[in-house]
A and B are shown apart, each in its own frame.
Chain A
């Protein structure tokens, strides 16, 4: 039995140890070198401009000042803030209502049909945001396609006010934001083993209970990711509200643009930017806590 195994060499433990260790160090060094460009890029393109933004907001021609921030207490800004959050909440809510069933259907289809549906969801991504927004303008305006149809069918007498207001902005933004919700949600739904639903049903859960108690909790990570994306993007949205809002829907991002383009006040614009950034981070942290709490409630 034993003659096949070599006798234990007392020096064996030290053999090659140094060479192996330096090999491991060399590997780490190479990995670090490979990721260096990315660190540099992030550093110069994200951290430096953000630092500069912050600097501009607190350092005017007379030196250090908080004037740019105290000005934000003006009621006009408060109103903008409320509008921005209202719109972001509404758009996120509507995206959930539309996107959840859509993602579910897509996740249940055969691979071929599912890719067709996802293609339709993704298609708007490949056209310019501006083109899509103008397309909504054509559809929604007073003499636009929708109003003409409704009037021709005799459903309404006078054209509906669908655009240049809150309604139009909401419609346009939901359309643009929907893919951001559907993609992560669809991905998380695809990973759910459908046998879990069968098991729930077999154990006595009605379809409604199985949905609320098994399916929904399992989609929460994907839903959370989608909600965060949509909400954060909506908070800083500019193009669509500017065009479809017709000047009546004042978003935070539009205030920033106005400060720069109309008043040339970089300090005020920077302060607005910093406030938006801080608010967004705060919301992210809060949502992270909330979904983390959801996910943590039942294990992983």
Chain B
């Protein structure tokens, strides 16, 4: 699964490599086995098993209704599954009520107590744990500093901006030093700039605390930016669990390929190890995972390159006609028609010294053999 990250391009120095081992005594691994939850005929969780490592930042990614939030709620104890097992460390917790699980959680709408000040909100979990008054005051102050809200303890919740509430919610979830942190689309209510800033901060906090984190989102970019590993969920099943880069470059199912990144697919015929695209043979970097006759070639706008002449050797090729250029600032997207009716997009960096091919020109599209992904349509969970 992870071979893609080792053989292509420079070493990836994403946040995944930074997970600190030092703080692992503060965190617990989570093991979910054969979890099933049905609502009538609808299976919200269909035999879900996943292992989350100690100190890992694991994102559950999927469209709405995929079961990702249900899985999180089972971990938190707010949804009772039909069967299965969940262990934190070596302790089975499925039968524990939520208030005995000792896990931090950030809710989608923050769920801050409106009748308490910021400091009272933060002190609440400590009070419940019978922490002394002096220590509470110290820890509240430290937590406020940690989320850069120092001095705002006396404020009412209504007086805070969305981003500040988000920080309070985060501080409240970690102030009692839980060993697992759950986050349910915590940034979805924020505007784009603030969201990006908070992504960075959540990530920084995770590195600082080394706490096992399960993060739910439907935003693939957020998932790719923040996670050590991502579990893609659809229809109550886990489609693939992998690092962001492996997930993007080597999707294992058609759903994952389409859900993550911008994707175009073309029909190919497979016979043994040979693959034909519109009658032309194409090469694959690795043996095919599936033997089905009719499969799909997965292409992304940024792996395609346009050539007026022959593509470089070591590339698969396809001929097409330029239809339209769309200027997007940092990049230019060219829509190319292939085989008369099918449309692909090619994205390249914006460079002022490049001239654009006139619409209607014939061109060759090329992409690296190692970037060739071929998957059967329908669910590839075999």
Query: Contacts A218-B115, A299-B156 known; A198 to B99 CB distance under 8 Å?
Result: no
Please tell me if B78 contacts chain A, counting CB pairs below 8 Å.
yes
Bound complex: CA A218 to CA B98 (Å): 21
Residues 20-74 (chain A) with a chain B CB within 8 angstroms: none
B105 touches A199 (CB 8 A): yes
Please tell me if A158 contacts chain B, counting CB pairs below 8 Å.
no
Bound complex: CA A198 to CA B129 (Å): 17
A218 touches B124 (CB 8 A): no
Within the complex, the shortest CB–CB distance from B103 to chain A, in Å, comes to: 7
Within the complex, the shortest CB–CB distance from B254 to chain A, in Å, comes to: 35
A299 touches B116 (CB 8 A): yes
Please name all residues of chain B whose beta carbon is closer than 8 Å to the beta carbon of A209 when the two chains form the complex: 128
Bound complex: CA A204 to CA B173 (Å): 11
Please tell me if B176 contacts chain A, counting CB pairs below 8 Å.
yes
A299 touches B117 (CB 8 A): yes
Please name all residues of chain B whose beta carbon is closer than 8 Å to the beta carbon of A298 when the two chains form the complex: 113, 115-117, 120
Bound complex: CA A203 to CA B125 (Å): 5
Please name all residues of chain B whose beta carbon is closer than 8 Å to the beta carbon of A299 when the two chains form the complex: 114-117, 156-158
A300 touches B78 (CB 8 A): no
Bound complex: CA A196 to CA B169 (Å): 12
Bound complex: CA A154 to CA B158 (Å): 60
A206 touches B99 (CB 8 A): yes
Residues 61-100 (chain B) with a chain A CB within 8 angstroms: 76-78, 97-100
**What residue of chain A has the Cβ atom nearest to residue B105's Cβ?**
A202
Please tell me if A232 contacts chain B, counting CB pairs below 8 Å.
no
Please tell me if A229 contacts chain B, counting CB pairs below 8 Å.
no
Bound complex: CA A299 to CA B107 (Å): 21
Please tell me if A115 contacts chain B, counting CB pairs below 8 Å.
no
**What residue of chain B has the Cβ atom nearest to residue A218's Cβ?**
B115
A198 touches B113 (CB 8 A): no
Please tell me if B172 contacts chain A, counting CB pairs below 8 Å.
yes
Please name all residues of chain B whose beta carbon is closer than 8 Å to the beta carbon of A297 when the two chains form the complex: 115
B158 touches A300 (CB 8 A): yes
Q: Is the interface of A mostly helix, strand, loop or mixed?
A: helix
Please name all residues of chain A whose beta carbon is closer than 8 Å to the beta carbon of B117 when the two chains form the complex: 298-299
Bound complex: CA A142 to CA B125 (Å): 57
A193 touches B111 (CB 8 A): yes
Please tell me if B5 contacts chain A, counting CB pairs below 8 Å.
no
Query: Contacts A195-B109, A299-B116, A300-B115 known; A202 to B156 CB distance under 8 Å?
Result: no
Please tell me if B25 contacts chain A, counting CB pairs below 8 Å.
no
Query: Contacts A201-B99, A204-B129, A206-B99 known; A218 to B114 CB distance under 8 Å?
Result: yes
Please tell me if A282 contacts chain B, counting CB pairs below 8 Å.
no
Please tell me if B308 contacts chain A, counting CB pairs below 8 Å.
no
Please tell me if A292 contacts chain B, counting CB pairs below 8 Å.
no
Please tell me if B310 contacts chain A, counting CB pairs below 8 Å.
no
Residues 249-288 (chain B) with a chain A CB within 8 angstroms: none
Within the complex, the shortest CB–CB distance from A214 to chain B, in Å, comes to: 6
Bound complex: CA A214 to CA B77 (Å): 19
Within the complex, the shortest CB–CB distance from A160 to chain B, in Å, comes to: 44
Bound complex: CA A42 to CA B101 (Å): 59
B102 touches A204 (CB 8 A): yes
Please name all residues of chain A whose beta carbon is closer than 8 Å to the beta carbon of B156 when the two chains form the complex: 299-300
Please name all residues of chain B whose beta carbon is closer than 8 Å to the beta carbon of A218 when the two chains form the complex: 114-115
Please name all residues of chain A whose beta carbon is closer than 8 Å to the beta carbon of B112 when the two chains form the complex: 199
Partner of B107, one of A195, A207, A213: A195
Please tell me if A254 contacts chain B, counting CB pairs below 8 Å.
no
Please name all residues of chain A whose beta carbon is closer than 8 Å to the beta carbon of B172 when the two chains form the complex: 203
Bound complex: CA A213 to CA B127 (Å): 11
Please name all residues of chain A whose beta carbon is closer than 8 Å to the beta carbon of B113 when the two chains form the complex: 196, 199-200, 214, 298
Please tell me if A217 contacts chain B, counting CB pairs below 8 Å.
yes
Partner of B78, one of A196, A198, A207: A198
Bound complex: CA A210 to CA B101 (Å): 16
**What residue of chain B has the Cβ atom nearest to residue A298's Cβ?**
B115
Bound complex: CA A206 to CA B108 (Å): 22
Please name all residues of chain A whose beta carbon is closer than 8 Å to the beta carbon of B78 when the two chains form the complex: 198, 201
Please name all residues of chain B whose beta carbon is closer than 8 Å to the beta carbon of A300 when the two chains form the complex: 114-115, 156, 158
Please tell me if A205 contacts chain B, counting CB pairs below 8 Å.
yes
Interface centre among A204, A206, A297, A300 (most CB of B within 10 A): A204
Within the complex, the shortest CB–CB distance from B228 to chain A, in Å, comes to: 23
Bound complex: CA A203 to CA B128 (Å): 8
Partner of A195, one of B77, B98, B111, B176: B111
Please name all residues of chain B whose beta carbon is closer than 8 Å to the beta carbon of A199 when the two chains form the complex: 105, 107, 111-113
Within the complex, the shortest CB–CB distance from A216 to chain B, in Å, comes to: 10
Partner of B109, one of A193, A207, A213: A193
Partner of B176, one of A201, A204, A295: A204
**What residue of chain A has the Cβ atom nearest to residue B99's Cβ?**
A201
A203 touches B124 (CB 8 A): yes
Please name all residues of chain B whose beta carbon is closer than 8 Å to the beta carbon of A210 when the two chains form the complex: 99
Please name all residues of chain B whose beta carbon is closer than 8 Å to the beta carbon of A202 when the two chains form the complex: 76-77, 98-99, 101, 103-105
**What residue of chain A has the Cβ atom nearest to residue B98's Cβ?**
A201
Please name all residues of chain B whose beta carbon is closer than 8 Å to the beta carbon of A203 when the two chains form the complex: 99, 124-125, 128, 172, 176
Q: A195-B107, A297-B115 are known contacts; what are 11 more A-B pairs with Cβ within 8 Å? A: A193-B109, A199-B105, A199-B107, A201-B99, A202-B76, A204-B125, A204-B176, A205-B124, A205-B128, A218-B115, A299-B116
A-B contact pairs, 16 of them (CB 8 A): A195-B109, A198-B78, A198-B107, A198-B111, A199-B111, A201-B78, A201-B98, A202-B77, A202-B99, A203-B172, A214-B113, A217-B115, A218-B114, A298-B120, A300-B115, A300-B158
Q: What 3 pairs across the A-B complex have the smallest Cβ distances?
A: A299-B156, A199-B111, A203-B125
